[in-house]
Structures are given as C-alpha cells and as structure tokens.
C-alpha cells in the first residue's frame, strides 16, 4: 500500500522543529521521509528552497535544516542538538565542531 502525502508529512513532523510549513518545504525539495535527509547538505537545501520559491527565506529555516539532518543521521540524537536554535551560526553545534 502506498503511503499518502499526509503520512509522509507526518513522518517529517517527527523531526523536532518541523511543523506543517517546513514539512511542505522539505517535500518541495524531494525530501519525503526522515531518512531522505541523511547525507544531505543543509546549506544546499536552503539555497535550493530559496531558488524554488523565488525569494529570500528566513535564515532560521537553514538552522532547522541543519538540526533536521543531524536528527536523521543519529540513532540517538543528543536532545540539545535537536533544538534548531542550537544550530545558529556561532551556536552550540558550531562550538562542538559540527558545522
């Protein structure tokens, strides 16, 4: 049985910080499941999203993309690193050498 778009969106919404709007943005980029984020470059996803929508996208979306890729790649993600604001430039993730 094929999964519906709603099922796929709900899977993306398991990612901390991803709600309906960001789930739609991810689907615009061809990301249908959490696993699709593994090995992806958040900066590239952000640039592609801006190109796709044709205007500037708030930089906070980049931070969510960073935390989302981290979440997808970890079997047991550290709780603090699943919070998008810890992926800001100069934030916790950068301090730990993850950027």
Domains of the chain, residue spans = 5-95
Which letter, b or e, does each residue of 73-95 get, where b requires 16 or more Cβ atoms within 10 Å of its Cβ? Answer: eeeeeeeebbbbebbbeebebee
Which letter, b or e, does each residue of 27-43 get, where b requires 16 or more Cβ atoms within 10 Å of its Cβ? Answer: eebebbebebbeebebe
| pLDDT of the residue at 7 | 54
- Spell out the per-residue pLDDT of the chain, length 99, in tens: 455 555 555 899 999 999 999 999 999 999 999 999 999 999 999 999 999 999 999 999 999 999 999 999 999 999 999 999 999 999 999 999 998
The pLDDT tens digits of the residues spanning 64-87 come to: 999 999 999 999 999 999 999 999
What's the whole-model pTM score? 0.89
């Amino acid at each position: 049985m094929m999964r519906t778009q709603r099922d796929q969106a709900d899977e993306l919404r398991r990612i901390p910080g991803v709600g309906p709007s960001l789930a739609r943005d991810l689907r615009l980029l061809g990301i249908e499941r959490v696993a699709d984020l593994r090995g992806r470059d958040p900066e590239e996803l952000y640039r592609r999203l801006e190109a796709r929508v044709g205007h500037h996208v708030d930089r906070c979306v980049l931070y969510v993309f960073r935390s989302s890729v981290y979440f997808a790649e970890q079997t047991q993600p550290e709780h603090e690193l699943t919070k998008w604001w810890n992926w800001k430039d100069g934030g916790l993730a950068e301090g730990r050498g993850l950027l």
